[in-house]
Amino acid sequence: MSKRIITISREFGSGGRAIGKQVAERLGIAYYDKELIEKIAEGTGFSKEFIQEYGEHAPGKNIFSYSFLGRTASGMSMQDYIWTEQKKIIKELADKEPCVIVGRCADYILRRREDCLHVFVHAAMDKKVERIVSLYGETVDKPEKKLRDIDKKRSVNYQYYTDREWGQSQNYHLCLDSGVFGIEKCVDLIVDLAGK
C-alpha cells in the first residue's frame, strides 16, 4: 500500500498543521495549507484574507453573514462559489503531484481516489489550550471559547458541503489524539502508514 496524497483534517490547536508540514518534509512531497488558500484566492479573485476567513466557514449557522456575502452574477452564493473553486483546485493538485493537504474538506473531495490516506487529528481541550497559549502567547482571550468557536465553524462547514459528520472516524483512515501521542509520534505513524 502506498498513498500519494495525505489529507489532514484537524481540530484547532491539535497541532494538525505542524504534523502535516513535518509529514510532507519527511516524505519529500508538497505541502498545501496557506499555499492552497493562495490558489483559491487566485482562482476566485477574492483576497487571501477573505478565503482564510470564509473558506472553512459554512453559511449554515449564520444567515446574516451569509446574506451579507451576497451572490455572484450567476446567482451562486459567494460561499458556494468558493467551494466550487476549492473542489476544482484540490482535485487538480491531487492529479498533479504527491502532497499533503490540510483542511478544506479535502478528505471528502478526494474520497473516491484510492491513493489517499485520510487523517483526522484531535486532542483534549486542556492540551489544545496549552498549545495555542504556547504558540500565540498568554494574550489569547478565552482560549477555550476560541477553540470551540473555530471548530464549530469547521464542523458546520464540513457538514453543510459534505453531508457527513466532521470528526466521525469512519470518514478517515486514521484518527489520532495528538495530546496523548505527541506531534512527533503522530508524524512517525502517518509517514509509516503512507507506505514509504
Q: Are 3 and 194 in contact (CB under 8 A)?
A: yes
193 binds a copy of itself (CB under 8 A): yes
Which one of residues 172, 187, 190, 194 is an interface residue with a copy of itself (CB under 8 A)? 172
- Residue 181, amino acid: F
Cα dist. 65→32, 70, 148 in Å? 27, 9, 19
181 binds a copy of itself (CB under 8 A): yes
174 binds a copy of itself (CB under 8 A): yes
Cα dist. 94→55, 107, 110 in Å? 19, 11, 8
129 binds a copy of itself (CB under 8 A): no
Nearer CB in complex with a copy of itself: 37/121? 121
Which one of residues 120, 128, 132, 190 is an interface residue with a copy of itself (CB under 8 A)? 120
Q: Which residues of 159-182 are buried (b: 16+ CB within 10 A; e: fewer)?
A: ebbeeeebbeeebbbbbbebbeee
168 binds a copy of itself (CB under 8 A): yes
What residues make contact with a copy of itself under the rule CB under 8 A? 1, 11, 120, 122, 165, 167-170, 172-177, 180-181, 185, 189, 193
